[in-house]
Amino acid sequence: MKKSSIFGLVVIAIAIAVIISVYSNTSTYGSFGDATKTSSELHIVGHLNKSKELFYDATKDANYFSFYAKDNNGEERKVILKGPKPEDFERSEQLVLTGKMVGSEFHASSILMKCPSKYTQDKLETKEVKAKSASI
């Protein structure tokens, strides 16, 4: 067998390994109902229930923010973010929550918000908030 064929096979093997590792690493979009059934993190698309209380008090705990969100099936859960309240949170139109259920509460590790743009009303902009800092 030629050396270049061997190398080609190695490259193909790595490429396949990459795809498998990505596939096993990707999570799925789900609902709060799905989140109760799994212990791994998943993404939930939903929106903020603006009629219920948003709790944040920096003088008590600067890293605790809670609110109520409804997923696309209309199921509602209390969501907790370990971090300060994102700017403009009340104005968000859609949320993508990443995290998992702890008891009856959803603990989010990051929240991606879609807000009506501050500057052009005819466009949407998105924003992401993470509970922890980015590090290796």
Partner 1 sequence: MDIQFKGEHLLPGQIGQFFIVLSFGAALLSFISYYFATTDDVGKQNSLWQKLGRAGFLVNLASIIGIGVCLFTLIYKHYFEYHYAWAYTSRSLSIYYILSAFWNGQEGGFLLWLFWQAVLGTFLIFRSKSWERPVMTVVAMSQVVLAAMVLGVEVFGQRIGSSPFLLLRQSMEAPIFSNPNYLEFIKDGQGMVPSLQNYWMIIHPPTLFLGFASMVVPFAYAVAGLWQKKYKEWVAPAIPYALFACMILGTGVVMGSFWAYESLNFGGFWAWDPVENASIFPWIVLVAGLHVLIVFKNTGHSYFTATFLVLLSNVLTWYSSFLNRSGILGDTSVHSFTDLGMFWQLVISIFIFLGITIWLLVSRWKELPITKKDEDTYSREFWMFVGAVFMGLSCFHLLVVTSVPVWNAIFHTKMAPPSDIIKHYNVIQSSFVFVIVLVTGFSQFLKYKKTDVTKFFVITGSYLLIAAALTALIAYTSGVYKLNFVFVLAMWGSVYSVLVNGKVLADAFKGKFKLAGSAVAHIGFGLLMIGALISAGTSKVISINNTGEAYNAEFAKEENPRENVTVYRNQPTKLGDYTVTYIGDSISSPNHWFKINYKKIDANGKITEEFTLKPKVQVSKGTMSASPDTRHYLFSDIYTHITLTNAITPTEAGTESAEAAHDADNDDKNYDAPVSHEVKTGDTIRYRDGYIVLTGLNKEAKVQNIPLSDSDVAIGAHLEIVSNSNKYSATPVYMIKNGNVFDFARKVDDAGLKLRFSKVIPEHKTVEIVVYQQPESKKKFVVMKAIQFPFINFFWAGTIIMVIGFFMSILRRKRELKTV
Q: Of 15 and 50, which has the nearer Cβ to partner 1?
A: 15
Choices 46-54, 67-75, 114-122 (CB under 8 A): range interacting with partner 1: 114-122
Rg of the Cα atoms in the chain:
20
| Torsion sign across C-alpha atoms 84, 112, 69, 31 | negative
Query: Within 38-77, which residues bind partner 1 (CB under 8 A)?
Result: 40-43, 45, 57-64
Q: Of 51 and 59, which has the nearer Cβ to partner 1?
A: 59
3-state class of 108 per DSSP? strand
Q: Of 14 and 73, which has the nearer Cβ to partner 1?
A: 14
3-state class of 43 per DSSP? strand
